[in-house]
């Protein structure tokens, strides 16, 4: 018997020793890949500096001073060549990167691409509408010949073999992707950092995040390094960075742009598949909503989307919805019943309501129903398997320490989490308890949650129809740009954006104001009734001067109306 027990103990010891050795070898391998990538990135930054200096500094200043419409006109007329535009923005993005650490890789092919476009002009060919326009791309979106690591070191040196549909359409329209930008590990966070490329700073205040997961794009655009970027959004990854960085961004509903080939070139840890009924999409980000609208107008002016992806309906640009002067009936709310926003985020919704009323729109109060329960459903259907795949993929790679500490609760067995929820409820922490009950433990539960999403969509659009409401105005987030680690501890703070992925509404964000001294003073009265409110209050302090946005959302195929209202708002925000 003793021999048998000893053999078991020895076998277990040998197994654990083997696992430790395997992990040590894996870590060494990944660290080697990261070191190699950092060297490659340094070389690309030097390449970018050399390319930028090929254009006289005065010429770069002239081109850099042009807004989107001015640059498009100059490119069409020939006053600016494609090569000049791309090279100028290589230089501007380099300056933005030095301030924020937003760039992951430059796309060397962009210079060759720009020269080829200029050759088309010389040969007398007709010019596409976005001829020569430099465009920045989120790291996780496929561009032929570049990596899409999602922040995983294990996915370094597995370049995409094809362009993502959005990139393909941009190229068909004449645009030139020239740079890729930073993301958080796994994309499932609204901070922005990983072990490969480091942490991206908010250009408005060092030590604060630009948001995520499209944080690199937001930082680059806000710092003047790009006129147009393309991001993606599964819970607010375009809209929260737009709010934090003071720019504009749009997440179309899932039927209007394509995520075909999303896994091409991705060779990192297995993520466990998609997120049924939690609808992600790609979309534009820019300094203004007018730029976002122009890009989507070009995408939808013809059958581009359905030509690239036959699973998408051939729905064109709806000029009637976007008509200048058209008035809409808009429901608004300043809290969703799940997470009360901090004072400045409430204030800008009220200011937006007043501005839109002055423009002739009708604003009426509206309450989005059952948000707390649907946030539980959102988490359940996003993680699908209780977070097992997510934790496995992160632990298999080289996660930053704060990622591991924040996600460690996912390793707690679901039945234990649900038992702990009773304790949280007894302490009065009902939201924490709701989160603890969100992980699905069976396919039966998951099917019920899928059904509840479908029923909820029907309920919300019916309530909007009964109230004769075209769209909704609400906060974009619960707080101004927080410190880098904050989003990892406050996943619950994404409810204002995540609910519209669950509903599959088109939604956009634009800047309306700035966190001010009055907001800071009112923060003293902000609740501290549970740990999340306490953290939101703490993370919002010392935020005077940080940008604040609002969100507008509408049912699918009404993106043009959403952008019309956001443009009306953006144009009439008082200048600081």
295-331 residue pLDDT tens: 999 999 999 999 999 999 999 999 999 999 999 999 9
Q: Is 478 part of a structural domain of the chain?
A: yes
Query: Is residue 450 situated within a structural domain?
Result: no
Q: Could you tell me if residue 331 is inside a domain?
A: yes
**Other CB atoms within 10 A of residue 219 CB:** 33
- Looking at residue 268, what is its pLDDT? 52
User: How far apart are alpha carbons 247 and 511 in whole angstroms?
Assistant: 6
**Hunting for tokens 């702990």 — which residue is that?**
420
**The pLDDT value given to residue 408:** 74
Q: For residue 342, is it within any domain?
A: yes
Least confident of 12-26, 167-181, 384-398, 510-524: 12-26
Number of compact structural domains in the chain: 1
Give the chain's mean pLDDT.
Answer: 94
Do residues 262 and 511 make contact, with C-beta atoms less than 8 angstroms apart?
Answer: no
pLDDT at 442 over 80: yes
Q: Which residues are known to be catalytic?
A: 138, 213, 237
Q: Does 47 map to a domain?
A: yes
Q: Is the confidence at residue 273, as pLDDT, over 60?
A: no
DSSP string, 524-573: GGS--SSHHHHHHHHHHSS-TT-EEEEEEEESTT-HHHHHHHHHHHHHHS
Local confidence band at 271 (pLDDT 50, 70, 90 cut-offs): very low
- Tell me if 396 is assigned to some domain: no
pLDDT at residue 441 in the model: 73
Q: What is the pLDDT of residue 272?
A: 41
pLDDT 10s digits, 194-223: 999 999 999 999 999 999 999 999 999 999
Alpha helices, H only, 53-141: 57-64, 68-77, 82-100, 109-122
Q: 149, 81 in Cβ contact below 8 A?
A: no
Q: What is the CATH number of the domain that holds 236?
A: 3.90.1300.10
Asked if residue 404 has pLDDT above 90, the reply is no
Please indicate whether residue 82 or residue 425 has the higher confidence score (pLDDT).
Answer: 82
Q: What percent of the chain has pLDDT over 70?
A: 96
Q: Tell whether 350 is covered by a domain.
A: yes
Q: Are 473 and 464 in contact (CB under 8 A)?
A: no
Among 71-75, 139-143, 315-319, 419-423, which is the least confidently predicted range?
419-423
Q: State what percent of residues in the chain have pLDDT above 90.
A: 81
Give the sign of the dihedral formed by CA 486, CA 489, CA 493, CA 494: positive
> Is residue 440 one of the residues assigned to a domain?
no
Q: How many whole angstroms separate alpha carbon 3 and alpha carbon 57?
A: 80
pLDDT at 184: 97
Whether a cis peptide bond, with omega within 30° of 0, leads into 213 is yes
Coil, strand or helix: which one is 209? Answer: coil
Phi-psi region of 563 (alpha: psi -120 to 50; beta: other; left: phi over 0): alpha
pLDDT at residue 266 in the model: 53
In this predicted structure, the answer to whether residue 267 has a pLDDT above a threshold of 70 is no
Tell whether pTM > 0.75.
Answer: yes
Stretch 345-365: mean pLDDT, rounded? 99
Question: pLDDT at residue 406 above 80?
Answer: no
Task: Give the structural domain span for 202.
Answer: 33-314+327-371+465-572
pLDDT value for 142: 96
DSSP 304-316: HHHHH-TTS----
| 414 compared with 306, residue with greater pLDDT | 306
pLDDT, tens digit, for every residue of 493-533? 999 999 999 999 999 999 999 999 999 999 999 999 999 99
Opening angle at CA 46, ends 43 and 52, nearest 5: 140
Mean pLDDT for 41-68 is: 98
Whether 86 shows a pLDDT value over 60: the answer reads yes
Summarize pLDDT for 450-508 with one digit per residue, the tens. Answer: 999 999 999 999 999 999 999 999 999 999 999 999 999 999 999 999 999 999 999 99
What pLDDT is stored for residue 564 in this prediction? 99
């Amino acid at each position: 018997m003793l021999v048998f027990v000893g053999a078991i103990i020895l076998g277990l010891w040998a197994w654990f020793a083997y696992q430790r050795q395997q992990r040590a070898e894996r870590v060494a391998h990944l660290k080697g890949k990261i070191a190699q990538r950092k060297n490659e990135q340094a070389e690309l930054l030097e390449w970018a500096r050399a390319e930028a200096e090929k254009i006289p500094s005065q010429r770069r200043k002239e081109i850099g001073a042009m807004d989107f419409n001015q640059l498009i006109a100059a490119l069409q007329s020939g006053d600016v060549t494609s090569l000049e535009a791309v090279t100028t923005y290589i230089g501007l993005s380099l300056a933005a990167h030095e301030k924020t650490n937003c760039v992951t890789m430059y796309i060397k092919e962009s210079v060759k691409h720009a020269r080829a476009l200029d050759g088309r002009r010389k040969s007398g060919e007709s010019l596409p509408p976005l001829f020569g326009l430099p465009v920045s791309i989120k790291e996780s979106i496929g561009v032929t010949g570049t990596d899409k690591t999602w922040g995983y070191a294990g996915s370094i040196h597995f370049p995409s073999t094809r362009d993502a549909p959005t990139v393909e359409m941009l190229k068909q329209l004449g645009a030139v992707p020239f740079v890729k930008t930073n993301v958080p590990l796994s994309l499932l966070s609204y901070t922005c950092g990983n072990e490969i490329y480091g942490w991206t700073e908010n250009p408005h205040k060092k030590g604060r995040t630009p948001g995520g997961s499209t944080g690199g794009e937001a930082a680059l655009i806000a710092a003047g390094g790009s006129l147009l970027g393309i991001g993606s959004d599964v819970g607010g990854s375009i809209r929260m960075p737009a709010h934090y960085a003071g720019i504009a961004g749009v997440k179309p509903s899932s039927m209007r742009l394509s995520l075909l080939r999303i896994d091409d070139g991705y060779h990192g840890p297995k993520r466990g598949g998609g997120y049924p009924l939690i609808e992600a999409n790609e979309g534009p980000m820019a300094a203004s909503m007018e730029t976002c609208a122009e890009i989507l107008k070009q995408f939808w002016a013809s059958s581009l989307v359905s030509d690239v992806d036959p699973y998408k309906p051939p729905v064109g640009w709806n000029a009637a919805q976007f008509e200048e002067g058209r008035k809409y009936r808009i429901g608004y709310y300043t809290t969703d019943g799940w997470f009360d926003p901090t004072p400045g985020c409430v204030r800008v919704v009220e200011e937006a309501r007043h501005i839109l009323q002055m423009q002739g729109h009708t604003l009426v109060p509206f309450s989005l129903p059952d948000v707390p329960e649907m946030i539980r459903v959102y988490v359940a259907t996003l993680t699908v398997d209780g977070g097992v795949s997510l934790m496995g993929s992160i632990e298999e790679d080289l996660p930053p320490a704060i990622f591991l500490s924040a996600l460690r609760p996912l390793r707690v067995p679901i039945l234990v989490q649900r038992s702990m929820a009773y304790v949280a409820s007894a302490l009065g922490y009902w939201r924490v308890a709701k989160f603890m009950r969100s992980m699905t433990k069976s396919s039966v539960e998951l099917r019920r949650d899928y059904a509840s999403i479908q029923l909820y969509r029907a309920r919300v659009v019916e309530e909007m129809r009964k109230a004769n409401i075209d769209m909704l105005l609400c906060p974009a987030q619960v707080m101004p740009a927080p410190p880098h680690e904050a989003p990892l501890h406050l996943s619950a703070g994404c409810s204002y954006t995540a609910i519209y992925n669950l509903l599959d509404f088109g939604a956009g964000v634009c800047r309306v104001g700035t966190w001010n001294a009055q907001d800071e003073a009112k923060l003293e009265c902000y609740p501290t009734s549970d740990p999340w409110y306490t953290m939101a209050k703490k993370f919002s302090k010392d935020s005077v001067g940080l940008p604040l946005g609002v969100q507008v959302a509408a049912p699918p195929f009404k993106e043009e109306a959403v952008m019309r209202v956001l443009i009306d708002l953006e144009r009439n925000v008082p200048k600081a």
